[in-house]
């Protein structure tokens, strides 16, 4: 099965329909916003019509009429202002709530995404979709969206009013203005889609360049790779600059609308004067038309100015929705089968094939059974597939074909939470989170207390080591565990695994940075913790390899017993 891959510029059609699950929860609030907007637009249009009434009354010498309509105008302006303010406030409020839902769902999707999906994408791109794109949507919701919605409703209601007042003049206005405006906006939209997509991709590339290089500064300095990294960054920056230029070029197309505005108002004045001359139009209605046509063109301009932001927001939303969707697609059947995942059992690999995209097969037709309580060592040359096998056995990867079963349950169909509780993998490179040593150790299901942490350390013979740290178990590990040595970070990860007390424990060179005596004691303790616990150790060190009861040699996947006798 092909791996799910994010695209730089995902499908943008029907993006709102795809976002409907997030909008649906707020549909009542959205309906309220629409009602408020319509009332606000109605009042804004009524103001224009009332000015026409006042002019008409003044032309007829009707002083009472002028006074009455002026009062009505004042009331409309105040009420309209309050309603419009409320409508804009509610749009932002509902928009923020919808975005909070999207952010939550996207974070959850990434947290549950299969390891292979995360590995296959640049960290900076994922980060940008989870933060930059959603923040950009927030800025759109708080800034442009209210203008966009108000402009659309006022435009629609104004056109309706004009049709009622004089349909011939309205048709003239629409025929003269709309087709040209539609062509201008259409050309802008065609150019803006790729321009905004490329801009988002280029921004993501710059973010990715930092996300990858900042944690690797130490290596870049020692290997003299800083200049090369600056070269990569310069290329990403040039791309961003070019994308920014394209965006500006696309937006400049909208300036043609200003010319159109002048033409539309001029046309209405000439046509209105002719209609008044012919006795087909009153001066009041002509005034309303001139005001309204200016308003229509102004609102259309507002709309067009917002279209750029709306297009950008559409791309951002499409990128976030694609992330949510693909994380789900890459996780085809989480938690479907296995209502009860047994506490202990044999691990069985049957006909397992696995390879990375565009790479040669790493494992081919591998079959193997490890009984509960067994101690298997996986050894072999660099790049022979040991870690890959460890990740498959831990359920972090899924085989391209074949199955990995634990206690008769296919890991691909089991509840991932239960798999994580039963099968734990400790990698060689341990990354800790900022906090104390004890807090990092206790990060396992069930959140064990201080006594449990101390008991686990005692069993592993690590009490004296923990006491030797500057603040004992309360010693801060620093960012990503940087204040501990590589071996100390491994000890924290091993204590964490011991606390989790899994049925299957996989140590992927997890004691490689620990001194040989401590490593030997830890491995023996972990192996002897329970006669039902399966211990799988991936190792290069001869003493670690010698401690296994079974040995699997990679890449041939040759299985032998402790005495080197081949197993069937
Ligand atoms: N995330 C990945 N993407 C693409 N290819 C990968 C990835 N991880 C490993 N590989 C490739 O798969 C092969 C097996 O890698 P693996 O890490 O399983 O080997 P290993 O036996 O554990 O090596 P080592 O002894 O160095 O830890 C290697 O050729 C490697 O280049």
Note whether residue 352 is domain-resident. Answer: yes
The DSSP element (H or E) to which 161 belongs, if any, is helix 132-165
Q: Is 404 in contact with 352 (CB distance < 8 Å)?
A: yes
CATH number of the domain at 125, please.
1.20.1560.10
In a domain, 286, yes or no: no
Query: Do 26 and 151 belong together in one domain?
Result: yes
Residue 3 belongs to some domain of the structure: no
- H or E element at residue 507: strand 504-508
What percentage of the chain exceeds 90 in pLDDT? 32
Query: 276 with 387, same domain?
Result: no
Tell which one of 5, 384, 541 to mutate to probe ligand 1, the residue whose CB is within 8 A of the most ligand atoms.
384
Q: In which region does residue 14 sit, left (phi positive, over 0), alpha (psi from -120 to 50) or beta (all else)?
A: left
What average pLDDT does the segment 361-366 reach? 92
Domain shared by 381 and 512, yes or no: yes
Q: State which ligand 1 atom lies nearest to the alpha carbon of 382.
A: 25
Instruction: Verify that 514 and 365 share a domain, yes or no.
Output: yes
Question: Ligand 1 centroid vs 355 CA: distance in angstroms?
Answer: 10
Q: 366 versus 220: which is more confidently predicted?
A: 366
**Residue 352, SS3?**
strand
Q: How many domains does the chain have?
A: 3
Please check whether residue 340 lies inside any domain of the structure: no
Q: Are residues 157 and 195 in the same domain?
A: no
- Whether residues 448 and 545 share a domain: the answer is yes
Residues 6+ apart with CB under 8 A from 73: 47, 50, 51, 54
Indicate if 196 and 137 belong to the same structural domain. no
Query: Domain boundary at 298, 331, 364, which?
Result: 331
378 Cα: distance to centroid of ligand 1 (angstroms) = 14
Check residue 299 and report its DSSP letter. H
Q: How confident is the model at residue 481 (pLDDT cuts 50, 70, 90)?
A: confident
Q: How far lies 46's CA from each of 183, 233, 244, 295, 462, in Å? A: 30, 56, 42, 13, 80
Residue 149 covered by a domain = yes
Angle between helix 123-130 and helix 167-213 axes, rounded to 10 deg: 140
Q: Are residues 66 and 203 in the same domain?
A: no
Q: What is the pTM of this model?
A: 0.72
323 and 259 within one domain: no
Contact (CB, 8 A) for 567 and 551: no
404: domain CATH number?
3.40.50.300
Please tell me whether residues 359 and 400 are part of one structural domain.
yes
β-bridge partners, 504: 423, 534
pLDDT tens, 230-276? 888 888 899 999 999 988 888 887 777 777 777 777 887 888 888 88
Locus of tokens 């928009």: 95
Q: How far from the centroid of its chain's Cα atoms is residue 509's Cα? A: 33
Last residue of one domain, picked from the residues 280, 295, 318? 280
Residue with CA closest to ligand 1 atom 25: 382
Residue 299 lies in a domain: no
| Residue span of the structural domain in which 406 resides | 347-561
- Assigned domain for 76 exists: yes
Signed CA dihedral, 242, 246, 247, 252: sign only:
positive
CA distances from 505 to 371, 538, 550 (A): 13, 11, 15
122 belongs to a structural domain: yes
Worst-scoring range by mean pLDDT, 83-87, 287-291, 418-422, 458-462? 287-291
Question: If you take atom 6 of ligand 1, which residue's CA is the nearest one?
Answer: 356
pLDDT for the residue 531: 67
Residues with CB under 6 A from ligand 1: 119, 356, 359, 362, 380, 382-388
**Ligand 1: residue whose CA is nearest its atom 8:** 388
368 Cα–ligand 1 center, Å: 20
Question: Looking at the structure, do residues 66 and 89 belong to the same domain, yes or no?
Answer: yes
What integer best gives the mean pLDDT of the chain?
85
Centroid of ligand 1 to alpha carbon of 535 (angstroms) = 21
- 376 and 477 belong to one structural domain: yes
């Amino acid at each position: 099965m092909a791996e799910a891959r994010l695209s730089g510029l995902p499908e943008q059609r029907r993006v709102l329909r795809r976002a409907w699950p997030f909008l649906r929860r707020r549909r009542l609030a959205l309906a309220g916003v629409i009602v408020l907007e319509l009332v606000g637009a109605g009042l804004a249009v009524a103001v224009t019509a009332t000015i026409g009434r006042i002019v008409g009354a003044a032309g007829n010498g009707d002083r009472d009429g002028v006074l009455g309509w002026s009062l009505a105008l004042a009331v409309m302006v105040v009420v309209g202002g309050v309603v419009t303010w409320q409508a804009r406030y509610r749009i932002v409020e509902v928009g923020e709530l919808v975005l909070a839902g999207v952010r939550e769902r996207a974070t959850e999707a990434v947290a549950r995404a299969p390891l292979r999906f995360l590995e296959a994408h640049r960290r900076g791109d994922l980060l940008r979709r989870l933060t930059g794109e959603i923040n950009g949507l927030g800025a759109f919701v708080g800034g442009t969206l209210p203008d966009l919605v108000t402009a659309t409703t006022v435009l629609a209601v104004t056109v309706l009013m004009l049709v009622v007042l004089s349909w011939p003049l309205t048709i003239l206005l629409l025929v003269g203005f709309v087709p040209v405006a539609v062509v201008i906006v259409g050309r802008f939209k065609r150019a803006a889609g790729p321009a905004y997509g490329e801009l988002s991709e280029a921004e993501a590339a710059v973010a990715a360049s930092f996300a990858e290089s900042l944690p690797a500064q130490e290596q870049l300095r020692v290997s003299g790779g800083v200049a090369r990294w600056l070269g990569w960054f310069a290329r990403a920056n040039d791309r961003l600059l070019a994308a920014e230029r394209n965006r500006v070029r696309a937006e400049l197309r909208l300036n043609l609308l200003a010319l159109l505005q002048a033409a539309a108002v001029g046309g209405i004045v000439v046509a209105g004067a002719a209609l008044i001359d012919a006795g087909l139009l009153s001066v009041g209605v002509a005034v309303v038309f001139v005001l309204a046509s200016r308003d229509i063109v102004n609102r259309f301009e507002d709309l067009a100015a917002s279209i750029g932001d709306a297009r950008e927001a559409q791309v951002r939303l499409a990128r976030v929705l694609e992330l949510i969707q693909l994380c789900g697609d890459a996780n085809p059947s989480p938690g479907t089968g296995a209502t009860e995942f047994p506490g202990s059992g044999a691990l069985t690999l049957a006909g397992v094939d696995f390879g990375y995209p565009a790479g040669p097969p790493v494992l081919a037709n591998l079959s193997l059974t490890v009984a509960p309580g067994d101690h298997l060592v996986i050894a072999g040359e660099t790049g022979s597939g040991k870690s890959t096998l460890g990740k498959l056995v831990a359920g972090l990867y899924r085989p391209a074909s074949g199955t990995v079963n634990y206690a008769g349950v296919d890991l691909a169909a089991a509840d991932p939470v239960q798999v994580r509780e039963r099968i734990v993998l400790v990698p060689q490179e341990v990354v800790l989170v900022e906090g104390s040593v004890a807090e990092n150790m206790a990060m396992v299901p069930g959140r064990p207390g201080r006594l449990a942490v101390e008991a686990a350390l005692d069993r592993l013979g690590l009490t004296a080591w923990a006491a030797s740290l500057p603040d004992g178990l309360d010693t801060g590990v620093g960012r990503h565990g940087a204040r501990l040595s590589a071996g100390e970070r491994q000890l924290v990860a091993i204590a964490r695994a011991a606390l989790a007390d899994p049925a299957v424990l996989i140590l992927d060179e997890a004691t490689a940075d620990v001194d040989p005596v401590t490593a030997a004691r830890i491995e023996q303790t972990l192996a002897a913790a329970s006669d039902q616990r399966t211990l799988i150790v991936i190792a290069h060190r001869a003493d670690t390899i010698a401690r296994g009861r079974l040995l699997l040699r990679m890449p041939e996947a040759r299985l032998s017993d402790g005495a080197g006798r081949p197993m069937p």
